[in-house]
């Protein structure tokens, strides 16, 4: 197996890892780096459970080979937890009852972060579109939409 040394910025820290460049980012995060927030739901880029931010954009980590990320910035839910915006998102999701089984929650929070960075005061249509790549089997989405609205209001000026 060919391994390359890959340098990137992960969760606000410089990281260098020796790994097969074709290995999926999701597997590197979970298996090599112990970051278990991103989860494998479908492995096909359809469910959003593995969502991370790459250079500020929401990406399904199950679809990205680590080798193309040289020098890029990646933020997982573990990194987002170090921010003020995460605290607002967490409280908003809790208040709206948007957390049930919890499987989709890390990806959904990452989608919300990406959405609010793009649209700090989103319309309901923008919210629905912003979370549309993330599947939730428990909430019916209405509570998640409410959580995003609460977060946008509480975090006004942060995104």
Domain CATH code at residue 51 = 3.10.20.30
Same domain, 74 and 87: no
- Predicted pLDDT at 91: 98
Helix (H) or strand (E) holding 5: strand 4-10
Orientation of helix 84-96 relative to helix 142-154, angle to 10°: 140
Judgement on whether residues 13 and 68 belong to the same structural domain of the protein: yes
**What is the separation, in whole angstroms, between the first and last Cα of the chain?**
42
Helix H or strand E segment including 6: strand 4-10
pLDDT at 89: 98
**Residues 70 and 95 grouped into a single domain:** no
Rounded CA-CA distance 100/45 in Å is: 22
Q: Which domain holds residue 116?
A: 83-155
How far CA 38 is from CA of 62, 132, 150, 159, in Å, comes to 9, 17, 24, 22
Residue 29 and residue 62 share a domain: yes
Q: Are residues 69 and 95 in the same domain?
A: no
The overall average pLDDT reported for the chain is 97
Residues 58-94: tens digit of each pLDDT: 999 999 999 999 999 999 999 999 999 999 999 999 9
Do 124 and 100 fall into the same domain? yes
Of 34-43, 112-121, 133-142, least confident by mean pLDDT is 133-142
Q: Is the pLDDT of residue 1 over 80?
A: no
Phi, psi of 39 (to 5 degrees): -120, 155
The answer for residues whose C-beta is within 8 angstroms of residue 44's C-beta and 6 or more apart is: 62, 63
Read off the pLDDT of each residue in 11-16 and give the average, rounded to a whole number. 98
Domain boundary among 52, 80, 108: 80
Together in a domain, 75 and 128? no
Considering the domain architecture, whether residues 23 and 87 belong to the same structural domain is answered as no
d(CA 58, CA 38): 12
Q: Which of 61, 80, 99 is the last residue of a domain?
A: 80
pLDDT band at 22 (very low <50, low <70, confident <90, very high): very high
Contact 94, 85 (CB under 8 A): no
Question: Domain with 116 in it: what CATH number?
Answer: 1.10.150.120
Instruction: Judge if 49 and 91 occupy the same domain.
Output: no
Residues 6+ apart with CB under 8 A from 69: 6, 8, 25, 54
Count of domains for the chain: 2
Q: Does 24 share its domain with 88? A: no
pLDDT of 2 reads: 87
Q: Tens digits of per-residue pLDDT, 35-46?
A: 999 999 999 999
Last residue of a domain, one of 80, 114, 133: 80
Q: What is the mean pLDDT of residues 83-111?
A: 96
Is residue 31 within 8 Å of 50, Cβ to Cβ? no
pLDDT(124) > 90 = yes
Instruction: Indicate if the pLDDT at residue 140 is higher than 90.
Output: no
């Amino acid at each position: 197996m060919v391994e390359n040394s890959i340098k990137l910025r992960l969760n606000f820290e410089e990281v260098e890892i020796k790994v097969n460049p074709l290995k999926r980012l999701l597997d590197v995060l979970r298996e090599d780096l112990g970051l278990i927030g991103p989860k494998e739901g479908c492995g096909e880029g359809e469910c959003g459970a593995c969502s991370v931010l790459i250079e500020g954009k929401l990406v399904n980590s199950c679809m990205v080979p680590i080798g193309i990320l040289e020098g890029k910035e990646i933020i997982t839910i573990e990194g987002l937890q170090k921010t003020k915006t995460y605290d607002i998102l967490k409280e908003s999701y809790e208040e709206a009852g948007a957390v049930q089984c919890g499987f989709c929650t890390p990806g959904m929070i990452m989608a919300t972060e990406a959405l609010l960075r793009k649209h700090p005061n989103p319309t309901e249509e923008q919210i629905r579109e912003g979370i549309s790549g993330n599947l939730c089997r428990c909430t019916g989405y209405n509570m998640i939409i409410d959580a995003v609205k609460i977060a946008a209001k509480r975090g006004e000026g942060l995104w």
